[in-house]
Structure 1
């Protein structure tokens, strides 16, 4: 059974930007291009991406 997505304390914009930068440095160029294309689409694509990220977080929390 999957755990409920945890509530994270809000970060400042600079902290968030730094965390995202660190994450993106770990991705290869193809993954970055894919994310860029998804984020440049519409709100539904962003919703889908958010849903996938939350699902993966829950999978990591369960393991």
Structure 2
């Protein structure tokens, strides 16, 4: 099926009208949650690294 460029642009515009953008509040909450999860992951992996390092140190020590 071949569509001409004009029809393609019309279809693209119709699809972009269907996009629902998040509100400012949703964006802020999501951003805060991402930062919190990054901090949690960093702390978790730091602790796991310390425990594994301690374990390896005891075994090889």
Report which of the two has the higher share of helix. Answer: 2
TM-score by length of 1: 0.37
| Structure-2-length-normalised TM-score | 0.38
Greater Rg over alpha carbons, structure: 2
Q: Structure with the greater relative contact order (CA < 8 A, sep ≥ 6): 1 or 2?
A: 1
